[in-house]
Amino acid sequence: MKDKSSDLYAVFTLENPVGYLKKARQNRDYFLFFALTVSYFEFYGYQILRMCHWDELPDDFKNDDRLTAYPIILQLDEQKVIKKKTSDKMKKINQKRNSIVHSKTDIHLKYEMDDDGRALMENAIEYVEILKNKYDSIQP
């Protein structure tokens, strides 16, 4: 049986993440937008840390089997991959994602987004693009 995870890896990394985010925002699918954004933070952030900063990372980070966005964002900041201001905004984006994903109301929140949420979406697109560009630049 073929391992399908390699296919998923290729699609996830080779497709245009900013395009996916812009389409979700255009469709007002805020659930998808924030879920994808944080998934991109996790994927690109972890890969950058693994490929460029592994020796400097604390052992508890390297040995954690269930890394989430928050510790990855913290380490991106610690390793000076991103600036403190960017780290703080990425944490807010992660909090927004958590509030949407764990909401007890309409899961897609299709027609309601406050001004803060719209501003976070602009930041999210910018930060995903930054991480993807850093990731692409370290590929062999």
Q: How much is the pLDDT for 6?
A: 47
Distance CA 23, CA 135 (A): 22
Q: How confident is the model at residue 29 (pLDDT cuts 50, 70, 90)?
A: confident
pLDDT tens digit string along 65-106?
Answer: 889 999 999 999 999 999 999 999 999 999 999 988 887 665
Q: How confident is the model at residue 15 (pLDDT cuts 50, 70, 90)?
A: confident
For residue 138, the 8-state DSSP code is: T
Burial string for 74-96 (b: 16+ CB within 10 Å, else e) reads: ebbbbeebbeeebbebbbbbbeb
**What pTM did the predictor assign?**
0.85
Percent of the chain with pLDDT over 90: 64
Please tell me whether residue 82 adopts helix, strand or coil conformation: coil
Q: How much is the pLDDT for 112?
A: 66
Distance CA 97, CA 93 (A): 6
